[in-house]
């Protein structure tokens, strides 16, 4: 016989599965702090510091999915600071996930080694790098990498930048395509909620179990 307690337990079990399903649904995506990380609006939101003649940033239709747009960096001088940059506001203690997809257009070019996708944590003055994280790409095929970042004390700005580097970590040369750049806040609340739900279920199940006599 299905008692009221059994039915209530089943309702909580269904609720737990609903929580699991909602946490795993891909359409519930956390929003990126970056503007136009998929470059569907050209280079809006980004600043390119190259000279615009021998070092150029443009838009390409070459993307990991085969549709949409990507940024194309074509760096030829190996001098100056030809960076693609975007700054966003952050707060100390935040946990972030930095992700980017990159393809090297001319593989195995001896004048460059890789392109570095970096995140610098900066104070309000922007004068000091408090911490940095880097992803290195040199793959002729589209490659996606991610890294976890914790915003350090004193940091209020996260600077995301891409620049080719040579084997000595100086300014390199090369042509690279960049897409799907994101900087999202890692939210453990869902996991905590699931843990609380599981603990609640366990406690209720123990209190509802038929007692032996």
DSSP track, 59-109: EES--SSSSS-EEEEEE-S--S---EEEEEE--TT-EEEEEEEEEESSTT-
In degrees, rounded to 5, the angle at the alpha carbon of residue 194 between the alpha carbons of residues 204 and 100 is 175
Cα–Cα distance, 92 to 161 (Å, whole number): 20
pLDDT at position 78 is 80
- pLDDT in the model for residue 194: 41
Task: Kindly report the pTM of this predicted structure.
Answer: 0.75
**Residues in a beta bridge with 104:** 176
pLDDT at 45: 98
Spell out, as residue ranges, where the chain has pLDDT lower than 50. 7-9, 12-28, 189-199, 201-213
């Amino acid at each position: 016989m299905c008692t009221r307690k059994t039915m209530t337990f089943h309702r909580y079990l269904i609720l737990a599965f609903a929580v699991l399903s909602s946490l795993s649904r891909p359409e519930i995506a956390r929003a990126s702090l970056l503007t136009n990380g998929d470059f569907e609006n050209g280079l809006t939101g980004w600043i390119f510091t190259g000279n615009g003649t021998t070092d150029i940033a443009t838009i390409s239709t070459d993307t990991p999915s085969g549709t949409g747009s990507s940024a194309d960096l074509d760096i030829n001088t190996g001098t100056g600071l030809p960076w693609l940059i975007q700054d966003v506001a952050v707060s100390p203690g935040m946990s972030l996930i930095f992700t980017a997809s990159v393809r090297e257009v001319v593989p195995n070019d001896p004048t460059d080694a890789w392109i570095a996708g970096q995140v610098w944590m900066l104070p309000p003055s922007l004068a000091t790098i408090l911490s940095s994280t880097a992803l290195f790409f040199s793959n002729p095929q589209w490659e996606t990498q991610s890294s976890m970042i914790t915003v350090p004390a004193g940091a209020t700005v996260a600077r995301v930048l891409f620049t080719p580097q040579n084997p000595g970590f100086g300014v390199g040369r090369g042509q690279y395509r960049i897409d799907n750049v994101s900087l999202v806040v890692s939210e453990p609340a869902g996991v905590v909620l699931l843990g609380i739900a599981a603990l609640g279920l366990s406690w209720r199940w123990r209190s509802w179990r038929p007692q032996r006599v």
